[in-house]
């Protein structure tokens, strides 16, 4: 019942546009990841969903109910903060019970002593205490219920923050980079824990991160954002295999997708000196470009290295070899073909290739690159958009 | 790295410093426990004489010191409570809200620190006469808090600046209104600073002299500062009685201060080092 | 607000609990500051204003209803009075001496208590005791210690073989001001030392070590590593001590009432004397306005100076 619909949602801070005109529909039970570099507007979008920021224009509906003018507490959403935002003066038990206490809050709870007694009564009432205990058990926090946040480790604090969100049994969970303050090992453990939480409690999750690994592993849907605009909205697989534009192509994957300049002509693509036949689907897409230059997008693992030059291979020299354990990343400077590079500054004319095992290559070695075009994609060089064969086929 | 000699010099200097800081207080205690004969001896008595403790009993009997101390305590507690109550909301507003006139409010709060109390005595006297506050401890409290509220507002604002905004956002999502957040979340988090601010206001009320001297006329509403000052330059009361009153006025304050000084120092420096 | 947004707000208002409680308007900040603004207006703003008006009148404490407008006469009288010139001179002397002595002594104490040693916490607490003592009590005890015949001061001086005999500190026009100054500095240097101790926490150990590695002696290390860090705090302290010195009443009044023959008569003592001893409220108010102007000028100079240095050092 908790699908989320955004209609033309925009947010301006003065003259600055943080979010421009976003339309999106997230189905009930999805795990949506808002992915993008810092400053892309993903946190702002999340905070608008929560009601911590008001949308400049547009509508937000949750489960058919319009919420964009409701205060945060009336939206039936839970929010997990990057800094956890635990209440330092309350025990773990009180932190988790707090949203439930607030549901029965009366103004006279502010009176010292009297209010304290009333709050404790609510906290100890069977309905509340059972829910708190159950939540704590789920998150293995039972032993820590009477401790205070400052005595907990980072991972434990994170779990308390999750508990405070879970106990409300909301329709929507919102999370703002909840793992970024944890060390690498703990982070992957908590990643799995949140995924399990999603499977167990259900509900719709919206999760903000700048970490593509979190996005790929946790999300059922990813919205990749840049400068307040959604670049692509799709499943992790779609985003990986069929990036909507060169920005998405370069953002996802380590090392990122190679973009080699070329021209399509009669089912063949000409990359520098080499001329390669395109698979049928790509050839159809290539026709959309006509005589315009295109960019061939190909993942580093679809490339292999051969010792000597052959038909349909790209000649080059090794410029750098990095050993990452199970595989090696080889940077090759192409002799004839040019490559596109993004603002992160890949060196012009260089492509990245991953090879299994420990590569014996050294910088300066001449090599020949073999391309497997079965999973490659084509982009228009002028617009950066992916070329797809005919609208009918794409739909 | 440091030589033992330089360490010894340093410790010696520290001992000199502490003696200088504490000697006057010590001397007040000694004098209050000196017999009338020894007060005017050629060689002053350097140690307190416990057999002179009856001097305190006499002081209670001959002077209204207990009444004065009670009045001072009422004024101090009243000043403390009133200043805290008044300072909480503006401190929060200065820290968290953006609004027109914020800079002006900040300036006004700072500017009050430049007004000498003695300067406002006359117009306050006129206002108090109109509002029937003259010759009441309540009036004294109102006059004193006007000077402590600005300081306390600044100190509390500094502390609230340090509370992460995410905690407030979490509370909003959990269903707190703004006033719930101020009273239920922010105040408990800044409790140590609140304690420091309370102590500062308490001391202001306890120490205050000009208003207590001028705005209160009846003998039975005198505070200890006025009572003690009335003996200076007056020759009929023996000096050990005056010093006994001084001890009773000073030592509770100093003892209270030493108990809470960690908080006070934290609160005081939080306001001043940041500037 | 768009129509849709208005509708939304109306809906939020209708939702039973959360909507009503959570909603905030642009007036909320003013609601928060209203009580304190009203309070300060009544007990500071209005008195200040009436003091300003009073300074242009001739008003007697005995018959305030007979106030007579005299224009700038009170100010003119003060400007031409040599007594008032000496009040200004004494105030300036007292203020500058307080600033220099309290900060110097406070800095010395802070440096002594900065590095760890056994009992440092206790020493830091005890050194602040003078600050906690009520000023009237301080005045009383110092008046007794400085007593000409039986005071411990003269006794110690005699033991140390000074040939001065029994100085009557507070009755001697040459000695009264130094005695008041001594008492004041004893009371306020702990504040300076506590604040400077906190500032010393900000001194970078690495810069200190780098200076030592470069072969700097202790004084040079202080100059390059310590002083730049604490300098803004010292400036702020100087402002505080200045304003307090201009305001200080109780200590001086109880010890000397501005005497002997005006030797310790600062602005505030002069103000109080004119108001409550000679009972000329108009004149007293004029003295007060001059004092306030001086305090304001000092504050503006301070802010101008700190902003200039901060800009020069690229801190803003």
pLDDT tens digits, one per residue of B213-232: 989 988 889 999 998 988 88
Structural domain boundaries enclosing A353: 256-394
Q: What is the pLDDT of residues B236-246, one digit of tens each?
A: 788 888 899 99
> Do the strands A16-26 and A268-271 form a parallel or antiparallel pair, or are they unpaired?
unpaired
User: Which sign, positive or negative, has the C-alpha torsion A178, A180, A183, A186?
Assistant: positive
User: Is A328 in contact with A354 (CB distance < 8 Å)?
Assistant: yes
Residues of A in contact with B184 (CB under 8 A): 109-110
Tokens of A375: 């999973």
B-chain residues near A51 (CB < 8 A): 172-173
In this predicted structure, what is the pLDDT of residue C165?
65
Q: Which of C9, C12, C23 to mutate to test the interface with A (most CBs of A within 10 A)?
A: C12
Neighbours of chain C (3+ CB pairs under 8 A): A, B
Kindly state the tokens that stand for A386.
């992916």
Q: What is the pLDDT of residues C241-278, one digit of tens each?
A: 998 898 899 999 999 888 788 889 999 999 998 888 88
Which pLDDT does position C13 carry in this prediction?
Answer: 34
Question: Are residues A81 and B189, on separate chains, in Cβ contact within 8 Å?
Answer: no
Contact check, Cβ <8 Å, B225/C40? no
Q: Tell me: do B196 and B217 sit in the same domain.
A: yes
| Chain-chain contact of A89 with B191 (C-beta, under 8 angstroms) | yes
Minimal-distance CA residue of chain C relative to A60: C8
Q: Measured between beta carbons, which residues in chain B are less than 8 angstroms from residue A91?
A: none
Residues 98-137 of B with CB under 8 A from C: 98-99, 101-102, 105, 108, 110-124, 126-127
Residues B67 and B3 in one domain: no
- pLDDT digits over C126-165, tens only? 998 999 899 999 999 999 898 877 788 878 887 777 666 6
**A318 part of a folded domain:** yes
State the average pLDDT over residues B90-119.
86
Name which of A72, A108, A176 to mutate to probe chain B: the one with the most chain B Cβ atoms within 10 A of its Cβ. Answer: A72
Question: Which residue has better confidence, C115 or B208?
Answer: B208
pLDDT at B270 (0 to 100):
54
Smallest Cβ–Cβ distance between B180 and the set A99, A103, A105 belongs to A105
Residue of C nearest to B10 (CA): C112
What's the CA gap between C192 and A183, in Å, rounded? Answer: 43
Per-residue confidence (pLDDT) for residue C221, from 0 to 100: 81
CATH code (residue A26) = 3.40.50.300
Q: Is C29 at the interface with chain B, CB within 8 A?
A: yes
Do A237 and A275 have their domain in common? no
A392, pLDDT greater than 70: no
**Chain C 191-210, CB below 8 Å of chain B: which residues?**
191, 194-195, 197-199, 202
Question: Which residue from A57, A59, A70 is facing C12, i.e. has the nearest CB?
Answer: A70
User: pLDDT tens digits for chain C (316 residues)?
Assistant: 334 333 333 333 333 333 334 456 778 889 999 999 999 999 889 999 988 998 888 888 777 777 788 888 889 888 888 888 999 999 999 999 999 999 999 999 999 998 888 888 889 889 989 998 999 999 999 998 988 777 888 788 877 776 666 778 888 888 899 999 999 999 999 999 988 988 888 887 788 778 777 777 778 888 888 888 888 889 888 988 998 898 899 999 999 888 788 889 999 999 998 888 888 888 889 999 998 899 889 888 888 888 887 777 765 4
Q: How many CB atoms lie within 10 A of CB A117?
A: 10
CA distances from A164 to A100, A159, A281, B102, C290 (A): 9, 9, 50, 36, 60
- Mean of pLDDT values over A119-123: 87
pLDDT at A34 over 90: yes
pLDDT band of A341, cuts 50, 70, 90: low
Q: Is residue A309 part of a domain?
A: yes
Nearest chain C residue to A74 by CA distance is C18
- B151: CB partners within 8 A, 6+ apart: B113, B197, B200, B271
Contact criterion met (CB < 8 Å) for A74 and C18: yes
Residues B157 and B174 in one domain: yes
Those residues of chain C whose CB sits closer than 8 Å to some CB in chain A are: 2, 4-5, 7-9, 11-12, 15, 18-19, 22-23
Q: Are residues B35 and B86 in the same domain?
A: no
Which among B24, B102, B207 has the least Cβ separation from residue C134? B207
Q: What's the mean pLDDT in B54-60?
A: 84
Residue A319 within a domain: yes
Domain extent, residue B21, equals 1-57
C155 touches chain B (CB under 8 A): yes
- Average pLDDT value for residue range B159-176: 88
Nearest CA in chain C to A105: C17
- Chain B positions contacting chain A at CB under 8 Å are 164, 166-167, 169-176, 179-180, 183-185, 188-189, 191
From C2, which residue of chain A is nearest by alpha-carbon distance?
Answer: A57
**Hey, which chains touch B, using 3+ CB pairs under 8 Å?**
A, C
- Chain A and chain B share a number of CB contacts under 8 A equal to 65
Distance, in angstroms, between C2 CA and closest chain B CA?
23
Inter-chain residue contact C19 with A59, CB threshold 8 Å: no
- Is A230 part of a structural domain of the chain? yes
Q: How confident is the model at residue B74 (pLDDT cuts 50, 70, 90)?
A: very high
Cβ-Cβ contacts under 8 Å, C9 against chain A: 69
Has residue B266 got a pLDDT over 70?
no
Phi, psi of A347 (to 5 degrees): -70, 135
Could you tell me if residue A3 is left (phi over 0), alpha (psi between -120 and 50 degrees) or otherwise beta?
beta
Beta-strand relationship, A65-66 and A57-62:
antiparallel
* B186 touching chain C per CB within 8 A: no
| pLDDT of res. A298 | 92
The strand pairing partners of A366, in sequence order, are A317
- CA pair distance C167, C232, nearest whole angstrom: 41
Mutate to test the interface with B, among A105, A120, A167, A206 (most CBs of B within 10 A): A105
- Contact (CB<8Å) B116/C54: no
Examine the domain organization and report whether A46 and A70 are in the same domain.
yes
**pLDDT tier at A394, thresholds 50, 70, 90:** very low
Q: Please count the structural domains in chain B.
A: 2
Residue B162 sits in the same domain as residue B239: yes
Measured between CA atoms, the residue of chain A closest to residue C7 is: A69
Given A194, A217, A241, which residue is the final one in a domain?
A241
Angstrom distance (rounded) from CA A260 to CA A351: 8
Q: What is the pLDDT of residue B230?
A: 87
Over 60: is that where the pLDDT of A181 sits? yes
A228 lies in the same domain as A289:
no
Helix, strand, coil percentages (3-state) for chain C, rounded to 5, are 75, 5, 25
Q: Select the residue from B19, B122, B127 to test the C interface by mutation, using most C Cβ atoms within 10 A.
A: B122
Whether residues B130 and B266 share a domain: the answer is yes
Least confident of A217-221, A350-354, B234-238, B266-270: B266-270
Which pLDDT belongs to residue C163? 65
Q: Do both A106 and A197 map to the same domain?
A: yes
* CATH of the structural domain C81-312, one choice from 1.10.3720.10, 3.10.20.30, 3.20.20.70, 1.10.10.60: 1.10.3720.10
Half-sphere exposure of B169 (CA within 13 A, CB side): 21
Give the pairing type, strands A268-271 and A258-265: antiparallel
- Which of A50, A72, A85 is opposite residue B167, by nearest beta carbon? A85
* Residues in chain B, total: 275
* Residue B239 shares a structural domain with residue B151: yes
Confidence of residue B205 (pLDDT cuts 50, 70, 90): very high
Residues A263 and A194 in one domain: no
What value, to the nearest 5°, has the Cα angle with vertex C61 and ends C57 and C67? 30
Could you tell me the end-to-end alpha-carbon distance of chain B, in angstroms, rounded to an integer?
A: 35
Of the candidates A241, A264, A293, which is a domain's last residue? Answer: A241
Q: Which residues of C touch A66 (CB under 8 A)?
A: 8, 11
Q: How far is C198 from chain A (nearest CA, A)?
A: 24
Min distance B78 CA to chain C CA atoms (Å): 15
In this complex, the chains that touch A, judged by 3 or more CB pairs closer than 8 A, are: B, C
pLDDT value of residue A187:
86
**Position B275 pLDDT exceeds 50:** no
Residues A316 and A211 in one domain: no
A69 and C22 within 8 Å at the Cβ level: the answer is no
Task: Indicate the residue of A69, A72, A73 with minimum beta-carbon distance to C8.
Answer: A69
Distance CA A297, CA A387 (A): 11
Name the band, by pLDDT with cuts 50, 70 and 90, for residue A310. confident
The per-residue pLDDT for range B5-43, each reduced to its tens digit, is 788 888 999 999 999 999 999 999 988 888 877 777 777
Chain A residues contacting C, CB < 8 Å?
57, 59, 66, 68-74
Chain B nearest CA to A87, separation (Å): 7
pLDDT of residue A111: 81
Q: Domain check: are A157 and A19 in the same one?
A: yes
In 3D space, the residue among C59, C256, C276, C60 whose CA is nearest the CA of residue B121 turns out to be C276
Measured between alpha carbons, how far apart are the two ends of chain C, in Å?
A: 37
Say how many domains are in chain A: 2
Does residue A121 sit in helix, strand or coil? helix
- A53-71 confidence digits (pLDDT tens): 888 889 999 988 898 888 8
Q: So what's the pLDDT on residue C3? A: 40
Choose one of A241, A273, A302: the last residue of a domain: A241
Query: In sequence order, which ranges of chain A are alpha helices (DSSP H)?
Result: 42-50, 92-103, 114-124, 126-138, 154-166, 184-201, 212-218, 236-241, 246-251, 280-287, 391-394
Do the Cβ atoms of A89 and B188 come within 8 Å? Answer: yes
Same-domain check for residues B106 and B18: no
Do residue A71 and residue C12 have CB atoms under 8 angstroms apart?
Answer: yes
Q: Domain holding B218: CATH number?
A: 1.10.3720.10
> Looking at chain C, which residue has its C-alpha nearest residue B124?
C47
Q: Would you say residue B152 has pLDDT above 70?
A: yes
In this structure, the answer to whether residues B195 and B116 fall within a common structural domain is: yes
Residue C23's pLDDT is what? Answer: 52
Helix pair angle (C267-276, C281-312), 10° resolution: 160
Which residues in chain A are closer than 8 Å to B169, comparing Cβ atoms?
A: 52, 72, 79, 81, 85
- Smallest Cα distance from B79 to chain A, Å: 20
| Highest mean predicted confidence (pLDDT) among A291-300, A303-312, C176-185 | C176-185
CA distance C8 to chain A (A): 5
């Amino acid at each position: 019942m908790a699908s989320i619909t955004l209609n033309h949602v925009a947010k301006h801070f003065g003259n600055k546009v943080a979010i421009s005109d976003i339309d999106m529909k997230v189905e009930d039970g999805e795990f949506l990841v808002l992915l993008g570099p810092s400053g892309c507007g993903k946190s702002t979008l999340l905070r608008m969903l929560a009601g911590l920021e008001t949308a400049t224009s547009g509508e937000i509906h949750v489960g058919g109910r319009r919420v964009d003018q409701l205060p945060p507490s009336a939206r039936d959403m839970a929010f997990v903060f990057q800094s956890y935002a635990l209440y330092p003066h309350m025990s773990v038990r009180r932190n988790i019970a707090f949203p439930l206490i607030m549901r029965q809050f009366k103004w006279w709870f502010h009176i010292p002593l009297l209010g304290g007694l009333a709050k404790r009564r609510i906290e100890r009432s069977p309905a509340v205490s059972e829910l708190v205990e159950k939540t704590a058990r789920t998150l293995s926090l039972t032993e820590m219920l009477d401790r205070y946040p400052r005595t907990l480790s980072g991972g434990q604090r994170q779990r308390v923050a999750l508990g405070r969100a879970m106990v409300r049994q909301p329709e929507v969970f919102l999370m703002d980079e909840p793992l970024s303050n944890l060390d690498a090992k703990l982070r992957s453990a908590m990643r799995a824990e949140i995924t399990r939480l999603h499977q167990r409690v259900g509900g719709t999750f919206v999760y903000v991160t700048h970490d593509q690994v979190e996005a790929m592993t946790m999300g059922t849907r990813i919205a990749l954002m840049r400068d307040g605009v959604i670049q692509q909205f799709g499943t992790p697989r779609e985003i990986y295999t069929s990036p909507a534009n060169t920005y998405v192509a370069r953002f996802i994957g380590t090392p990122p997708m190679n973009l080699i300049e070329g021209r399509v002509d009669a089912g063949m693509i000409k990359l520098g000196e080499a001329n390669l036949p395109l698979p049928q689907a790509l050839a159809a897409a290539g026709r959309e470009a006509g005589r315009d230059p295109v960019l061939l997008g190909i993942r580093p693992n679809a490339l292999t290295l051969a010792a000597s030059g052959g038909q349909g291979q790209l000649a080059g020299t090794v410029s750098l070899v990095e050993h990452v354990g199970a595989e090696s990343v080889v940077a090759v400077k192409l002799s004839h073909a040019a490559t596109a590079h993004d603002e992160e500054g890949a060196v012009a004319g260089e492509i990245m290739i991953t090879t299994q095992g420990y590569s014996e290559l050294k910088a300066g070695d001449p090599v020949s690159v073999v391309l497997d075009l079965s999973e490659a994609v084509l982009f228009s060089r002028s617009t950066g958009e992916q070329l797809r064969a005919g609208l009918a086929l794409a739909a | 790295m440091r030589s033992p000699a330089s360490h010894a010099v340093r410790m010696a200097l520290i001992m000199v410093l502490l003696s200088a800081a504490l000697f006057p207080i010590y001397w007040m205690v000694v004098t209050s426990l000196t017999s009338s004969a020894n007060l005017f001896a050629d060689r002053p008595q350097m140690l307190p004489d416990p057999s002179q403790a009856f001097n305190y009993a006499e002081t209670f009997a001959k002077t209204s010191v207990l009444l004065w101390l009670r009045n001072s305590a009422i004024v101090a507690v009243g000043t403390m409570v009133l200043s805290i109550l008044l300072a909480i909301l503006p401190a929060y507003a200065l820290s968290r809200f953006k609004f027109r006139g914020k800079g002006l409010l900040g300036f006004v709060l700072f500017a009050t620190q430049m007004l000498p109390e003695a300067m406002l005595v006359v117009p306050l006297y006129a206002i108090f006469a109109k509002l029937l506050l003259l010759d009441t401890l309540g009036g004294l409290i109102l006059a004193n808090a006007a000077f402590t509220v600005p300081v306390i507002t600044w100190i509390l604002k500094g502390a609230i600046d340090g509370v992460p905004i995410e905690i407030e956002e979490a509370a909003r999502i959990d269903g707190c209104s703004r006033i719930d957040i101020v009273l239920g979340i922010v105040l408990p988090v800044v409790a140590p600073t609140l304690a420091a601010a309370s102590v500062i206001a308490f001391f202001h009320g306890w120490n205050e002299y000009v208003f207590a001297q001028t705005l209160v006329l009846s003998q039975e509403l005198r505070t200890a500062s006025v009572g003690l000052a009335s003996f200076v330059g007056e020759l009929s009361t023996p000096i050990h009685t005056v010093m006994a009153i001084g001890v009773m006025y000073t030592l509770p304050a100093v003892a209270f201060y030493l108990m809470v000084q960690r908080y006070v120092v934290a609160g005081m420096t939080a306001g001043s080092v940041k500037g | 607000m768009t129509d849709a947004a208005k509708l939304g707000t109306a809906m939020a208002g209708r939702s039973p609990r959360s909507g009503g409680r959570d909603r905030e308007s642009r007036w909320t900040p003013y609601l928060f500051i209203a009580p304190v603004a009203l309070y300060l207006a009544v007990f500071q703003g209005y008195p200040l204003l009436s003091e300003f008006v009073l300074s242009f009148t001739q008003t007697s404490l005995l018959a305030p209803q007979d106030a007579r407008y005299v224009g700038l006469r009170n100010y003119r009288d003060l400007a031409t009075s040599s007594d008032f010139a000496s009040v200004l001179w004494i105030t300036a002397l007292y203020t500058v001496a307080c600033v220099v002595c309290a900060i110097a002594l406070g800095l010395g104490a802070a440096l002594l208590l900065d590095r760890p040693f056994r009992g440092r916490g206790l020493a830091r607490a005890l050194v602040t005791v003078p600050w906690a003592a009520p000023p009237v009590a301080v005045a009383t005890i110092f008046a007794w210690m400085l007593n000409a015949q039986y005071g411990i001061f003269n006794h110690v001086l005699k033991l140390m073989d000074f040939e001065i005999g029994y100085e009557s500190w507070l009755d001697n026009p040459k000695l009264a001001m130094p005695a008041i100054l001594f008492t004041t500095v004893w009371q306020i240097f702990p504040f300076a030392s506590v604040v400077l101790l906190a500032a010393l926490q900000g001194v970078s150990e690495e810069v200190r070590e780098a200076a030592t590695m470069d072969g700097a002696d202790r004084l040079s290390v202080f100059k390059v590593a310590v002083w730049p860090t604490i300098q803004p705090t010292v400036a702020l302290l100087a402002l505080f001590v200045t304003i307090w010195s201009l305001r200080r009443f109780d200590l001086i009044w109880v010890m000397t009432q501005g005497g002997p023959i005006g030797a310790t008569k600062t602005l505030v003592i002069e103000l109080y004397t004119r108001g409550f001893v000679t009972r000329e409220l108009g004149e007293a108010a004029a003295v007060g306005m001059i004092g306030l102007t001086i305090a304001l000028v000092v504050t503006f100079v301070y802010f101008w100076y700190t902003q200039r240095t901060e800009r020069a050092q690229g801190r803003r």
